[in-house]
Amino acid sequence: MCINFVIIRGVTTMELIDVIASKENLNKYYKKVVANKGAGGIDGMEVEEHGAYIRENRDL
C-alpha cells in the first residue's frame, strides 16, 4: 500500500482530523473496504454492520 504524506506548516491537529474524517474521505475508504470485503477490525465490527452504524451516527 502506498501512503501519500503532505507536510503543511501551520496546520493544526484539529484541521488535520477534519480532513481525515471528512464525509468525502470516509465514504471513499468505506467503499474500498466494502469492495475488498474487508474483515472486522479491532472493534470486532464487520463491514456489513458498519454501514448501519454510520447511518445511525453520522450527525454526532
Q: Can you give the pLDDT at residue 48?
A: 77
Taking CA 13 as the corner, what is the angle to CA 3 and CA 22, rounded to the nearest 5 degrees?
Answer: 65
- The confidence band for 30, taking pLDDT boundaries of 50, 70 and 90, is confident
Q: Can you give the pLDDT at residue 26?
A: 82
More confident position, 24 or 59: 24
